[in-house]
């Protein structure tokens, strides 16, 4: 496994590997866990050369957010990559990625200003910009993202389509703890009480999914039931809750045959968590659960 900190060095390494061989990219901010392992496995099974980037991107954190407190576990991350068969780890510094203040940004609108984008203004502009830079640096054939960050996945897919990147975006199903909590690098910052309380998100999402699949047609009825569950947990501070079409994240006025996704953002102490759950209204189709 090669470790690279410079953009030009990475490009030189990949030039020698590119001829007739596919390149896969797994972009991460480090603090790798079993969810990242799933991304690496999917990529390793598909592409000849696998690049994992580890970069805690400062431009996607807003004022007062947890950039400085974001977990950094570099030695463990590198060991996970080595065991997973990663070929190249790209771990640039902020100065390498942003040698001068940016005058160019990528904004996917209005999608990036909605849902989590409304809770964290500017967040998705930072995400889209750094991913665009990574795509330009690595020039992968495929890039792998978790479906837990569903809005991010939809936003990256739209950016790739709009800017004509010759890249296939692969969404990998959410990996959860045995008790249902979606894996996240931020989970390590939950104290025992907030860790217990955070399970309310999965309970609410599962309940909403069952209502939809049982034939409930009114989104507000489902949202009201989910809000009641989450707001019944004293340690949960609900930031956003919505139901959108799974393909384009359009608002849903009434459930039809199109699959939908429920998206939730909630604060537990100092930690902001997101989760999602896809559901299929009754139509004879198979539900996609992540």
Q: Which of 33, 36, 42, 202 is an active site residue?
A: 36
Residue 78: DSSP 8-state? H
H helix or E strand, kind and range, residue 160: helix 150-162
CA dihedral 226→229→230→232, nearest 10 degrees, is 150
Looking from the CA of 256 toward its CB, the CA atoms found within 13 Å total 7
- Check: CB of residue 130 under 8 Å from CB of residue 97: yes
User: Vertex 175, ends 113 and 190: CA angle to 5°?
Assistant: 75
Residue 228, both tokens: 């009641």
Q: Is 250 one of the catalytic residues?
A: no
Burial class (CB in 10 A: 0-12, 13-18, 19+), 216: middle
Tell me which residues are annotated as active site: 36
């Amino acid at each position: 496994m090669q470790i690279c900190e410079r953009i030009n060095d990475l490009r030189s390494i990949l030039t020698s590997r590119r001829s007739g061989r596919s390149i896969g990219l797994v972009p991460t901010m480090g603090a790798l866990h079993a969810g990242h392992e799933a991304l690496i496995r999917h990529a390793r099974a598909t592409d000849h050369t696998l690049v994992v980037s580890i970069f805690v991107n400062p431009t996607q954190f807003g004022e007062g957010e947890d950039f400085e407190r974001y977990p950094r576990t570099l030695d463990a991350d590198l060991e996970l990559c080595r065991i997973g068969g990663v070929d190249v780890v790209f771990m640039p510094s902020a100065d390498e990625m942003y040698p001068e203040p940016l005058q160019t940004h990528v904004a996917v609108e209005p999608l990036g200003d909605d849902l989590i984008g409304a809770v964290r203004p500017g967040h998705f502009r930072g995400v889209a910009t750094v991913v665009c830079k990574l795509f330009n640096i690595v020039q992968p054939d495929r890039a792998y993202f978790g479906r837990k960050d569903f809005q991010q996945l939809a936003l990256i897919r739209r950016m790739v389509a709009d800017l004509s990147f010759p890249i296939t975006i692969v969404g990998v199903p959410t990996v959860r703890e045995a008790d249902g909590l979606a894996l996240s690098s931020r989970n390590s910052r939950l104290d025992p009480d907030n860790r217990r309380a955070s399970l309310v998100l999965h309970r609410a999402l599962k309940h909403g999914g069952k209502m939809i699949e049982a034939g409930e047609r009114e989104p507000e009825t489902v949202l009201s039931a989910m809000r009641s569950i989450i707001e019944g947990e004293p340690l949960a501070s609900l930031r956003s809750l919505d139901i959108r079409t799974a393909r384009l994240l359009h608002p849903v006025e009434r459930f039809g045959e199109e699959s939908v996704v429920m998206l939730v953002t909630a604060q537990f102490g100092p930690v902001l968590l997101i989760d999602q759950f896809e559901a299929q209204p009754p139509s004879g189709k198979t539900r996609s659960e992540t």
